[in-house]
Amino acid sequence: MTQLDQHGYFLEDMSVGMSAMFSKTVTEADILLFAAVSGDTNPVHIDQEFAEASMFKGRIAHGMLSASLLSTVFGTKLPGPGCIYLAQNLRFKAPVRLGETVKAKVTVTEIVEDKRRVKFDCECRVGNTVVVDGDATLMVNRRPR
C-alpha cells in the first residue's frame, strides 16, 4: 500500500460545510492512561475522595482528553491522513464524567486555496451539552499531478 492509497481528502476534494464525527465513551482506563501519558495527575481526575470535595462533586475526565478526540477526527476522517494540524482554539464549557460518551464533530468553515489551509468549527458534546468548542486550522495537501 502506498502513501497515496492511505491519504485522506485532498484540498480539491473539500468544500465548506463538510463535516465528520467521532464518538468515544470515556472509561477509567482512558483517564488513567491519559494522566500517565500527559503527566496531568490533578487529583480531580484520579482521586475520588479529592474530586468529591471539588466543585464537580466527583471525578472528571481531563478537558484535553475530550479535545483530543477532535485530533482523532482530523487525523482519521476529515481531512484524514496527510493533513497537518496548525492551530487550535478551545473553550472548555462543561465537565465530562466517567461513562459519558463524547461526540467530537468538525465542520469546514473556510478554504484558503493559495495557502492550502482549511478552517474548521470544532465541537465536543455529551448528549445535548457542549463540553468543548472552538476552531482549528489545518494544512491539506493538493492532489498530486
Instruction: Provide the b/e sequence for 129-140 (b: ≥16 CB within 10 Å).
Output: eebbbbbbbbbb
User: Which pLDDT does position 100 carry in this prediction?
Assistant: 98
Q: How confident is the chain (145 residues) per 10-residue block, as mean pLDDT?
A: 76 97 98 97 97 96 98 97 96 98 98 97 98 98 88
Q: What is the DSSP letter of 34?
A: H
Question: Considering only the top CATH level, what class is 3-26+61-139?
Answer: alpha beta
Q: Which residue has the cell 486550522?
A: 137
- Domain ranges in the chain are 3-26+61-139
User: Which pLDDT does position 3 carry in this prediction?
Assistant: 62
User: Which pLDDT does position 6 carry in this prediction?
Assistant: 76
d(CA 121, CA 19): 9
Left (φ > 0), alpha (ψ -120 to 50) or beta: where does 82 sit?
A: left
User: Which pLDDT does position 63 carry in this prediction?
Assistant: 97
